[in-house]
Chain A
Amino acid sequence: MRSRFFNFLILIVFIFCSCRNSANSSNEFVFPEADSVPVGEAEKLSAEAIAEISKNISSPVEIANLLQLLSVPFSPDYLASSIDANRQSTAFDKALTLGILGADLGYLNMYEKTGSSIDILSSIKKLAEGIRVGQYFDFESIKRLSLNKSNLDSLLFLSIDSYTQIDDYLRTNGRGQLSSLMIIGVWMEAQYLATQVVKQFPDQRLRDRIGEQKIILNDLILLASPYCTKDPEFNTLCSDLQEIKDKYREVRITYTIGEPVSVEKDGGLVVEQTETSTVEMTDEQLSGIIEITKQIRDKLIINN
């Protein structure tokens, strides 16, 4: 009896260890294959993994920088001016709108249209307070710098840093869903900006930047995945993101190999990458992406 019990105990220990090992290996964060995001995996994402993923999402400031490089003039028509911060009733709407307006703020700042950003700043403040993160948005300093138009560096830093602090706070305080919404809102608005501009300024570099978003689309979907089945609003958003992803399905990104070239300059190092990435995207595919982006982004801001 005693030996049978001992064997049984060994068996239990063996099974327990086996399960633990398999659980450990599946906890490793693996970027999903091109066309599927396993929801089960996404639910296991740790706060650290989400933080890492969020760093991969391109900044709207980078899109605005590219537009400036291409000498694209500023246009207020691209801004989500119809958004009324007072009409955002749910935390979902507030967080998503906070992201959308954050991208608009980045666009305004980069073009130094800072005097026009006061309305957006007020809305951002209201929305941040609405989800109890107002203390992380340094409204007074940002407003002062915007009105003075004196120090773009400080303004960019304070604006981005405020958003980073909000994001960190939300993630580390069990409100990761709001952090995900904010990031998705930022990306959606930057994507809208790029896709609207490319219609009028069909520069190859801008086309490429739009095509390259395929690289991070899985990450974006992964951020939303844990909540897709838990909330109807999230469910719709997840379907929207999936629709965008479908439009990217046939876009191809190829790479050429090369060694980086380094030269010293003024005490620093300048490294030029000779490896390249090339986007293969037809006009039809681009049109599909432009159309779906506008449709979803307009829906998001009209709903608001």
Chain B
Amino acid sequence: MKKYIISLLFLITGGLLLHGQTTDPLVTTCVMNAGPNAKYLKDFRVQLGKAAAPGEPRYKTQMSLWKNTKYRFTMCNSEDSKGKLILNIKDETNKMVLSSFDKNTGKIYPYIEFVCNKSGIYQLHFDFTDGQQGSGVGVVSMVR
């Protein structure tokens, strides 16, 4: 009995330690592919099922962006994603600032560089194309 308890404790402790040190390989790859002059700031891990109906982006978050800074937003998808990760950014007045999806041409940009000239808190909206199921990461870096 004692043996089982010790083994169980060992497994739980090991699991906790591993959990703490595991980084999603998709995130690591995406960070490393953000470009040689890009300095990592943060990432947003997005995992969504298929939407009942395509509509507004479903993953919404926010971050502050600062004037005189050039940001790069890099989008990466896991291999089993049905759709491709797209990003829209809106400012505090809900005005669209950028989109990685061009509605007119249907083109999806894998990264966007944003020259920020207005400091503030921006809304970042992620989804997969056509509300498809998918798993991906959006990496935010600074570039010179």
Question: Which A residues fall within an 8 A CB radius of B?
Answer: 52, 55-59, 61-62, 65-66, 69, 110, 135-136, 138, 152-154, 156-158, 160-161, 164-165, 205, 208-209, 212, 215-216, 253, 255, 260, 262, 264-265, 267-277
- For B68, give the chain A residue with the smallest CB separation: A205
The total number of A-B Cβ pairs within 8 Å is 128
- Rank and list the top 6 A-B pairs by shortest CB-CB distance, nearest first: A135-B20, A272-B115, A212-B119, A268-B111, A277-B118, A269-B109
What is the CB-to-nearest-CB distance from B81 to chain A, in angstroms, rounded to a whole number?
19
Partner of A153, one of B32, B61, B66, B144: B32
What is the CB-to-nearest-CB distance from B44 to chain A, in angstroms, rounded to a whole number?
9
Contact B42 A271 (CB under 8 A): no
Residues of A within 8 A of B69 (CB): 62, 65-66
How many angstroms between the C-alpha atoms of A216 and B34 in the bound complex?
27
Contact A165 B20 (CB under 8 A): yes
Residues of B within 8 A of A277 (CB): 67, 117-120
A110-B118 contact given A268-B113, A273-B97, CB 8 Å threshold:
no
Residues of A within 8 A of B119 (CB): 208-209, 212, 215, 253, 277
User: Is residue B6 contacting chain A, with contact meaning CB distance below 8 A?
Assistant: no
User: Is residue B9 contacting chain A, with contact meaning CB distance below 8 A?
Assistant: no
User: Is residue B112 contacting chain A, with contact meaning CB distance below 8 A?
Assistant: yes
User: Is residue B5 contacting chain A, with contact meaning CB distance below 8 A?
Assistant: no
Contact B97 A260 (CB under 8 A): yes
A55-B16 contact given A273-B114, A273-B118, CB 8 Å threshold:
no
User: Is residue B64 contacting chain A, with contact meaning CB distance below 8 A?
Assistant: yes
- List 7 additional contacts besides A65-B69, A209-B66; criterion CB under 8 Å: A55-B63, A66-B68, A135-B16, A153-B40, A215-B64, A215-B120, A272-B117
Partner of B98, one of A157, A165, A269: A269
Partner of A62, one of B28, B38, B66, B115: B66
User: Is residue B17 contacting chain A, with contact meaning CB distance below 8 A?
Assistant: yes
Contact with A along B132-144 (1 / 0, CB 8 A): 0000000000101
Partner of B121, one of A65, A110, A216, A271: A216
How many angstroms between the C-alpha atoms of A165 and B115 in the bound complex?
29
How many angstroms between the C-alpha atoms of A56 and B42 in the bound complex?
12
Residues of A within 8 A of B64 (CB): 55-58, 215-216
28 A-B Cβ contacts within 8 A? Answer: A55-B42, A56-B62, A56-B64, A62-B69, A66-B69, A69-B144, A135-B16, A135-B20, A135-B21, A138-B20, A153-B39, A157-B31, A158-B23, A161-B23, A208-B67, A209-B67, A209-B68, A215-B119, A216-B121, A255-B118, A265-B113, A268-B111, A268-B113, A269-B113, A271-B113, A273-B115, A273-B117, A275-B117
Residues of B within 8 A of A276 (CB): 67, 117-118
Residues of B12-71 whose CB lies within 8 A of A: 16-17, 19-21, 23, 28, 31-32, 34, 38-43, 61-64, 66-69
Residues of B within 8 A of A205 (CB): 67-68
Contact B113 A212 (CB under 8 A): no
How many angstroms between the C-alpha atoms of A164 and B27 in the bound complex?
14
- For A263, give the chain B residue with the smallest CB separation: B113
Contact A271 B98 (CB under 8 A): yes
How many angstroms between the C-alpha atoms of A137 and B63 in the bound complex?
23
Partner of B142, one of A62, A154, A164: A62
What is the CB-to-nearest-CB distance from B103 to chain A, in angstroms, rounded to a whole number?
13
How many angstroms between the C-alpha atoms of A125 and B8 in the bound complex?
27
Residues of B within 8 A of A154 (CB): 32
A153-B68 contact given A160-B42, A271-B113, CB 8 Å threshold:
no
Residues of A within 8 A of B21 (CB): 135-136, 138
- For A261, give the chain B residue with the smallest CB separation: B115
Contact A270 B39 (CB under 8 A): no
A274-B66 contact given A138-B21, A157-B31, A269-B112, CB 8 Å threshold:
no
How many angstroms between the C-alpha atoms of A268 and B66 in the bound complex?
21
User: Is residue B116 contacting chain A, with contact meaning CB distance below 8 A?
Assistant: yes
Partner of B41, one of A59, A69, A271: A59
Residues of A within 8 A of B116 (CB): 273
Interface centre among B62, B110, B112, B113 (most CB of A within 10 A): B113
